[in-house]
Structure 1
Amino acid sequence: MSEVYGRESGTIARARMCMAAFLDGVRARTGVAIPRHVTDAAQLVVSELVTNAAKHTSGPYGLDLEFAGHGVEITVWDSSPEPPVAMSPDPQRIGRHGLEIVSALTEAVSSTTTDRGKSVTVLLRLPVADPA
């Protein structure tokens, strides 16, 4: 599943809804129940990545979701070639915890420079429950 966003408002909410719809589709295709807390974590990861793309680029950005059998590959691409930089943990800092949150919730985070900017890809494991 893929979506492309511009400078319009509501893109973060749209990305979160896209993630939820994607996981609903995974449930429907596989028959595996995905716990609510996993859906919530996936939506938070997408929200943080899309927020970063919206804040740090002037061009379009997008979201690509792929079911990898054991998890979901979430890729957010944008027009900036600058890789994301994780800040050192600091409970006193207000804001700029996005990549820290993403790293805590996912198994792997990688950034790749592309001909149009960069892409940030994360693997979110799906600790699934048996079908109800």
Structure 2
Amino acid sequence: MSISEVYNGEPADIAAARRLAAELFSGLTRSGRPVSATVVADVHLVVSELVTNAVKHTRGLFGLDLRVADDVVEIMVWDTSEEPVAAMTPDPARVGRHGLEIVTALCGGFKVAATPKGKRITAQMALRPVA
């Protein structure tokens, strides 16, 4: 199962991306694959962090692709910025800029790939079915 959307780069796109994630999980539930509330919340957080970065650091279009296969949800955000991406060293005194630290903590890391017109950031999270 997969779902995708392209956004204009507006702050409201962050909430729209979370709604897209909710739509994915609603589809999984309808197909008989309910997922734990913890996983749903964690995926929403990862989506929020990656999409927030796209809104803040990209001018113009970006996209979100969510895919479920083999009990893993793949969260992929592409944008048109060539600005490098890297998690900062953890610093509890820093205010803000913890998004990729959060993604790393929840997903065990992320991958960045250059594209002809920007980059693609991909993170994966294991799905845990409802017990």
- Which TM-score bucket, shorter chain as reference? over 0.9
Tell me the secondary structure at the aligned position of residue 24 of structure 1: helix
Contact in 1 for aligned 2:64/2:78 (Cα 8 Å): yes
Assess, with a 3 A threshold, how the Cα gap between structure 1 residues 55 and 8 changes in structure 2: closer, same or farther.
closer
Alignment partner, residue 26 of structure 1:
28
Name the CA distance, whole Å, in 2 between partners of 1:94 and 1:119.
26
- What is the identity percentage for the equivalent residue pairs of Structure 1 and Structure 2? 48
Query: Size of the alignment, in residue pairs?
Result: 129
Deviations 1:10-40 (A, max 9, x none): 10000001001101112222x1221112111
| Whole-Å separation in 2 of the counterparts to 1:8 and 1:51 | 10
**Alignment root-mean-square deviation, CA:** 1.2
Distance 1:115 1:60 in 2: 14
The residue aligned with 2:50 is 49
| Equivalent-residue separation in structure 1 for 2:25 and 2:52 (angstroms) | 20
Match of 1:72 in 2: 73
Q: 1:38 to 1:23 in 2, by over 3 A?
A: same
CA contact (8 A) 1:107 1:125 kept: no
SS at match of 1:127: coil
The one-letter amino acid of 2:24's match is F
Deviation at 1:68, TM superposition (A): 1.4
2:62 corresponding residue in structure 1? 61
Tell me, yes or no, if the aligned pair for 2:10 and 2:55 is still in contact at 8 Å: no
5-14 vs 93-102, greater mean Cα deviation: 5-14
Partner of 1:111: 112
1:82 to 2:86 alignment: no
Equivalents in 2 of 1:86, 1:60: separation in Å?
A: 23
- List gaps (5 residues or longer) in structure 2: none
Residue segments in structure 1 that go unaligned for 5+ positions in a row: none
Q: Distance in 2 between matches of 1:108 and 1:89?
A: 14
Taking the aligned partners of 2:52 and 2:76, their CA distance within structure 1 comes to 13
| Structure 1 segments (4+ residues) deviating >2 Å | none
